[in-house]
Amino acid sequence: MSSPVNPDFLILAVQFVVAFAIAIVSLVGYRMFGSRTLFRMALSFFLIGGGILVQDAGNIATELAGFGPELSILGLVLEALGYFVLAISHIYTVRSEVGAEVSSMTLLLPFFAAAVQPSTALVLEGVARSVSFFLLLYILSENIIFLVKNRNAEALLPIVGFALLLASLFIRLFFVLPTETSDLVDLLKLAGFLILSGPVLVLLVRLRGGPP
């Protein structure tokens, strides 16, 4: 039996901290300006962070008490919901409000597809990861289009971050990995989250009166 402070748990804990940092900063912005975009960003990253926390709890429960796969799956589903809310924000950014409501319904398709799958734990885990993969792919594409259209260099950081998250999910979905390689994939996801924290750090420096 391994200690609860093994590297896997630490990796998940760092991901959780980064996701919550983005969520809290977005929430502060929402409370200051009432921006719906910032509200959706806060909700999205709270769900992603919460999902990671629940996965971490599930892993610890599995290690210590021999139960917990259900918790891990719940965590994966929460994470997928977080990506769903973020994807909706992108739809609202590129379309009119009415068009966005219709378009965002199409993002529910992977969830409907997931609902008709037989519900063994392994299948549910795969379905939750597949939904996240589909949504992350959409988010990454929108970020790239935004970067190209607006020539906004700061958008590069999240693009690299989301690309690393997508790469780690792709490997997890399509390859059966030995434990050592599995750790490397976790590190890939960790690197993605750390890079996603870049815009938060830039904002905090600017709010403290640093360079504009």
Partner 1 sequence: MMIVSDILKVVKEEGSKGEGARISSLLRKANLPYNRLTEITDRMVSNGLLEVTPQERGSIYRITPKGEEVLDSLIKFEEFAKAFGLRL
What is the Cα–Cα distance from 125 to 35, expressed in whole angstroms?
A: 34
Q: Give yes or no for a contact between 87 and 135, defined as CB atoms under 8 angstroms apart.
A: yes
SS3 content of the chain, % helix, strand, coil (to 5): 85, 0, 15
What is the Cα–Cα distance from 37 to 119, expressed in whole angstroms?
A: 34
Q: Which is nearer to partner 1, 167 or 202 (CB)?
A: 202
> Nearest distance from residue 22's CB to partner 1, in Å?
9
> Nearest distance from residue 33's CB to partner 1, in Å?
6
Among residue numbers 181 through 210, which ones bind partner 1 (CB under 8 A)? 198-200, 202-203, 206-207
Q: Give yes or no for a contact between 43 and 87, defined as CB atoms under 8 angstroms apart.
A: no
Among residue numbers 4 through 63, which ones bind partner 1 (CB under 8 A)? 25-26, 29, 32-38, 41
Placement of tokens 């719940």 in the chain: 74
Q: Which is nearer to partner 1, 168 or 197 (CB)?
A: 197
What is the Cα–Cα distance from 162 to 139, expressed in whole angstroms?
A: 8
Identify which of 192, 148, 164, 200 has the alpha carbon closest to the alpha carbon of residue 38: 200
Q: Judged by CB under 8 A, how many residues of this single chain contact partner 1?
A: 34
Chain centroid to CA 106 = 19
Question: Exactly one of 6, 93, 96, 106 binds partner 1 (CB under 8 A); which one?
Answer: 93
> Nearest distance from residue 190's CB to partner 1, in Å?
19
Q: Which stretch binds partner 1 (CB under 8 A): 66-74, 122-130, 148-156, 181-189?
A: 148-156
Among residue numbers 107 through 146, which ones bind partner 1 (CB under 8 A)? 139, 142-143, 145-146
> Nearest distance from residue 20's CB to partner 1, in Å?
16
Query: Does the footprint of partner 1 cover residue 96 (CB under 8 A)?
Result: no
Instruction: By CB under 8 A, name the binding residues for partner 1.
Output: 25-26, 29, 32-38, 41, 86, 89-90, 93, 139, 142-143, 145-147, 150, 152, 154-155, 157-158, 198-200, 202-203, 206-207
